[in-house]
Amino acid sequence: MAPLLFADISLVSPLSYLRCFCSSSSVLFSMAPSIGSQEAKTICVMDASSRIGAALVDRLLRRGYTIHAAAFGRGDEGKAASWSESKRVRIFRSDPLDYHSIADAVRGCSGVFYSFDTDSYDEFMVEVEVRAAHNVLEACAQADTVERVVFTSSVTAVIWKENRKLAEDVDERDWSEPNFCRKFKLWHALAKTLSEKTAWALAMDRSVNMVSVNSGLLIETELSPSNSYLKGAPEMYEDGVLVTVELKLLIDAHICIFESADAFGRYLCFNHAICRPEDAVKLAQMLSPLAPSPPPSDELRVIQERIRSKKLNKLMLEFGDELQVAE
């Protein structure tokens, strides 16, 4: 039998899986920050067909922006139909591997929100995501109008390394090690690490103003144990770095980072670190709602949280204090 270390979480029994989890709150900011009308600005959201992208389009429309909704076609097509009725939304059918379709969507925009997600990750998808990131940043570099790019990455691009247990608390300065990810077939982590590194390298070389949001596991209705983010979840738990984020907070963070002139570099984004027994039970039930009842929470031990999001906390608090809500 394969050891639990880096086991495929979908193959772990609900009871064994549950023992890998626990949680402590690490709340960021509950209210969406806002600034005044942005009617003069056009923003590209890519992939607008993903859950994050669709939520960003809806939020940005409420804030007065005009939107280029670039859809990769893997998500909610119904959303695109509803946006087509708005005079402030222009829909683009984009292919992340087709540079020209990306450039068409970005052209004329002052800002770009970019995210890439897929149902499953393997070695091939790592190459696809890296190439897609390069295409997007190259298109942004070529577009004279782009003032800032907000690049959605992942906490998995931060936490995986050979000597991670000897390190201090994890923050935005940390990077996952590609060779370590390859060794344990952590394809989601490898894709996010290499694509983000590719984006940063091109942004610095071409003077593109880019900021990244390194998101925790997005809590959503259809979350399942087979989610690629959860590969290696037992070790994430043991290391105190298994974190989750709610969609509202993730969108708030994206808006804040785009609109705040003080935003720079990378930002870890999460509002829950899985370290407390009662939260472990709740997460396990969410992942496997039809599984047998989980064991009593006293069978789980509390793990010390070793990941911090102080940088984002500070930015969002300052943003909220200085700017008036306009939604």
Active centre residues (catalytic): 192
Are 231 and 6 in contact by the 8 Å Cβ rule? The answer is yes
Can you tell me the distance from the alpha carbon of 21 to that of 275, in angstroms, rounded to the nearest whole number?
7
Are 92 and 70 in contact by the 8 Å Cβ rule? The answer is yes
Are 34 and 63 in contact by the 8 Å Cβ rule? The answer is yes
What 8-state DSSP symbol labels residue 167? S
3-state helix, strand, coil in the chain (%, to 5): 40, 15, 45
Q: What is the crossing angle of helices 247-259 and 310-322, to 10°? A: 70
Can you tell me the distance from the alpha carbon of 98 to that of 105, in angstroms, rounded to the nearest whole number?
11
The alpha-carbon radius of gyration of the chain (Å, integer) is 19
Can you tell me the distance from the alpha carbon of 177 to that of 194, in angstroms, rounded to the nearest whole number?
9
Q: Count the Cβ atoms, other than its own, within 10 Å of residue 213.
A: 25
Output the six-digit token pair for 64: 């007065």
Q: Coil, strand or helix: which one is 265? A: strand
Can you tell me the distance from the alpha carbon of 93 to that of 71, in angstroms, rounded to the nearest whole number?
5
Q: Coil, strand or helix: which one is 44? A: strand
Q: What is the crossing angle of helices 123-142 and 99-106, to 10°? A: 40
Does an H or E element contain 182, and which? Answer: helix 178-183
| Residue whose C-alpha is closest to residue 281's, from 15, 88, 9, 101 | 15
